[in-house]
Amino acid sequence: MAWSSSRRRERFNPDWERTRKIVGERDGWCCRQVVTDWNTGERHLCGRPGNEVDHIVRAGNGMPDDDSLSNLQVLCSYHHMLKTERESADARVERRRRREEAEWYSHPAFRA
């Protein structure tokens, strides 16, 4: 979903720009995604320049986001895109599971 058609912005903290700046400065505007070196297995931070502040744990079911500093991190565009795609896929799977469950329980055998 593109930002132009998203309603997510309506749930933003009115002080978001200030919060974003604090998080960016705290993280040095460097990507905080942990990556694993395929050759050595060593884990380290991506460290590329980051310009996107991300919620580590995403709010669900239309709830407001947790804008506490401990739930925010800077990510580069690449890692933010990957994380967003993963969260979107997880949400689609959950919606499908709920639809299938609702269809299952709509069977006449489950009606009172």
**Strands 72-75 and 34-36, bridge-based pairing:** unpaired
pLDDT for residue 109: 73
DSSP 56: S
Residue 65 region, left (φ>0) first, then alpha (ψ -120 to 50), else beta?
A: beta
DSSP labels for 34-49?
EEE-TTT--EEE--SB
Q: What angle do CA 48, 25, 76 make, to 5 degrees?
A: 25
Single pTM value for the model: 0.75
59-107 tens-digit pLDDT: 877 677 889 999 999 999 999 999 999 998 988 998 898 888 888 777 7
pLDDT in tens, 23-68: 999 999 999 999 999 999 999 999 999 999 999 998 877 677 889 9
Distance between CA atoms of residues 86 and 95, nearest Å? 14
